[in-house]
Amino acid sequence: MLLKLAEDRHLVAVNDIAELTNPLKPSVHGRLQWGEEEQEPESFAKESLCFPSGEALPRCWCDEHYRDAELLRGDAG
C-alpha cells in the first residue's frame, strides 16, 4: 500500500497491512519510493503518514483506545 509522508510528500510503500492496521504498533516498516532503485526498509511513525490524497490514517489504525468513550457510555453494540 502506498502512503505519503505528510511533511515532505514522499511516497512510502508499506507491505505489511497487518502492521499498518494494528493500533498497538506506533510505527510501520516501509520503503521510500525514491529514484529507480528500491530503497532499504525503514521504520516510519504512523503519525507522520497519510494517504496520497492527504487524508489522515483512520484513528482505529493508530489509537488503541479509539472506542473507550463509546464503551464507557455503553454504546458498543
Predicted local distance difference test score (pLDDT) of residue 76: 57
The helix or strand, by DSSP H or E, that contains position 62, with its residue range, turns out to be: helix 59-62
**For each of the chain's 77 residues, which pLDDT tens digit applies?**
999 999 998 999 999 999 999 999 999 999 999 888 889 999 999 999 999 999 999 999 999 887 777 777 766 55
Predicted local distance difference test score (pLDDT) of residue 75: 65
CA atoms within 13 A on the CB side of 9: 2
The closest alpha carbon to 23, from 50, 57, 58, 63, belongs to 63
- CA 69 to CA 54: how far, in whole Å? 27
For residue 36 the three cell numbers come to 529507480
The neighbouring-strand residues paired with 24 are: none
